[in-house]
């Protein structure tokens, strides 16, 4: 790096999740590269993590979709700290941050919406408004816009109207690890364990996973154990759904999983299910793939790309619980298929989604 650049990351969330871990990886990697890093985000678990990684952290966030007071505070902060790269994550901070960066003459302004707006599980009217506003602000104010895959780039161009010359494709990356030895302590059974991990929100499709389980139980000759790891707004609804279906004895809700426990939890699975209805990339998926877990994955364009067209996983029709159940049964009954998919999945991550490649790609972008 020719000189020490000052990067400001903006986020509208500081809860633990895929986007926030993505940002933490960026902070850690860019600090090691010699950049001076600033993060502005709400108060939450990630604040201390960003600080420990070497960032200068300020607690602030837009209170409304277009917050003039937040924009004014950002402009002042940018000028005082001579910010050279502004990298905003998620819609609300992208809109407000890009406007502030444009007014403050930041040399490189980057828009980064992880899950395509066209996939958001919101009202059609709200979605149209969000897409329109994002199109105007990104095309007028951003120098670059990030897409995590080629499929996402296509959606951003065709579905959201973002100028294709602005879009840079940079996949996520993870630290490659070996499986944990704590399988039995978490799964608490010798049965084959089928699990999912993620926030319990509409977009993550956990309802579909729960709906598939009775079909698996009644149709499979094997007794399987099911784990739902993670927490969120749908936790109570999902527990009620499990009781109504009469499958409580087969399912364990682990609740919130700290980052340092995620490896142990994933290692307790024999099959990983990723039932997302909307997805920008899928950090939990590539973490499972990196451990050599055979995966059953929603057939979203972005996930098809991550799994190499389904060659590294079994794809099921998105939101179709019956099809998901059939694919789980297929995988549970075929030991060789599980082994083959697990090996292919691990190689896919090693070759395409390493953290080292991720950091080098962003380092190159920031030097433009």
What's the domain count of the chain? 2
54 and 190 part of one domain:
no
CA distances (Å), origin 14, targets 44, 186, 279: 5, 27, 19
pTM of the model: 0.78
* Cα–Cα distance, 160 to 116 (Å, whole number): 8
332 and 256 part of one domain:
yes
202 and 166 part of one domain:
no
240 and 295 part of one domain:
yes
In a domain, 241, yes or no: yes
Supply 195's token pair.
């699990």
Q: Say which CATH number the domain at 348 has.
A: 3.40.50.2000
> In the prediction, which pLDDT does 2 show?
44
* Cα–Cα distance, 151 to 93 (Å, whole number): 23
258 and 270 part of one domain:
yes
Q: What is the pLDDT along the chain (368 residues), one digit of tens a residue?
A: 445 699 999 999 988 887 898 899 999 999 999 999 999 999 998 999 999 999 999 999 999 999 999 999 999 999 999 999 999 999 999 999 999 999 999 999 999 998 888 777 778 899 899 999 999 999 999 999 999 889 889 989 998 999 999 999 999 888 877 665 555 455 555 689 999 999 899 999 999 999 999 999 988 767 899 999 999 999 999 999 999 999 988 999 999 998 888 899 999 999 999 999 988 888 899 999 999 999 999 999 999 999 999 999 999 999 999 999 999 999 999 999 999 999 999 999 999 998 999 999 999 999 98
> In the prediction, which pLDDT does 178 show?
66
In a domain, 318, yes or no: yes
Q: Could you identify the residue written with the tokens 């000028």?
A: 79
Residue range of the domain that includes 123: 6-173+354-366
> In the prediction, which pLDDT does 1 show?
43
> In the prediction, which pLDDT does 182 show?
54
In a domain, 80, yes or no: yes
253 and 270 part of one domain:
yes
- Helix axes of 235-245 and 206-219: crossing angle, nearest 10 degrees: 20
CA distances (Å), origin 187, targets 3, 212, 226: 50, 20, 9
233 and 263 part of one domain:
yes
> In the prediction, which pLDDT does 270 show?
95
CA distances (Å), origin 207, targets 97, 241, 269, 335, 353: 34, 8, 19, 27, 28
> In the prediction, which pLDDT does 288 show?
95
- Within a 10 A sphere around the Cβ of 240, how many other Cβ atoms? 10
């Amino acid at each position: 790096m020719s000189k020490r650049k000052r990067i400001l990351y903006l986020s509208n969330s500081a809860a633990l999740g895929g986007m926030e871990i993505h940002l933490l990886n960026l902070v850690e990697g860019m600090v090691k590269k010699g950049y001076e890093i600033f993060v502005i985000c709400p108060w939450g678990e990630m604040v201390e993590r960003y600080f420990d990684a070497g960032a200068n952290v300020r607690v602030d966030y837009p209170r409304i979709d277009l917050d003039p007071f937040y924009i004014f505070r950002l402009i002042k902060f940018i000028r005082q700290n001579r910010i050279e790269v502004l990298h905003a994550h998620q819609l609300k901070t992208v809109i407000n941050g890009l406007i502030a960066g444009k007014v403050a003459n930041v040399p490189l302004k980057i828009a980064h919406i992880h899950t395509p707006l066209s996939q958001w599980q919101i009202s059609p009217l709200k979605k149209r408004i969000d897409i329109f506003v994002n199109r105007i602000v990104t095309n007028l104010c951003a120098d670059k816009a990030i897409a995590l895959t080629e499929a996402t780039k296509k959606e951003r161009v065709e579905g959201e109207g973002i100028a294709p010359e602005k879009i840079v494709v940079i996949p996520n990356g993870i630290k490659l690890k070996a499986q944990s030895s704590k399988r039995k302590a978490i799964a608490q059974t010798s049965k084959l364990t089928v699990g999912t991990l993620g926030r319990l929100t509409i977009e993550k499709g956990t309802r579909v996973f729960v709906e598939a389980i009775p079909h698996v139980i009644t149709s499979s000759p094997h007794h399987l154990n099911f784990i739902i790891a993670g927490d969120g707004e749908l936790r109570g609804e999902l527990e009620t759904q499990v009781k109504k279906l009469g499958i409580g004895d087969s399912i364990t809700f682990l609740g919130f999983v700290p980052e340092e426990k995620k490896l142990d939890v994933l290692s307790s699975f024999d099959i990983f299910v990723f039932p997302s209805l909307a997805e920008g990339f899928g950090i939990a998926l590539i973490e499972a793939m990196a451990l050599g877990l055979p995966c059953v994955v929603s057939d979203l364009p972005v996930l098809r790309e991550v799994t190499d067209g389904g060659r590294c996983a079994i794809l099921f029709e998105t939101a179709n619980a019956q099809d998901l159940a059939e694919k789980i049964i297929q995988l549970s009954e075929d030991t060789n298929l599980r082994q083959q998919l697990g090996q292919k999945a691990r190689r896919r991550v090693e070759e395409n989604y390493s953290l080292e490649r991720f950091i080098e790609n962003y380092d190159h972008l920031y030097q433009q």
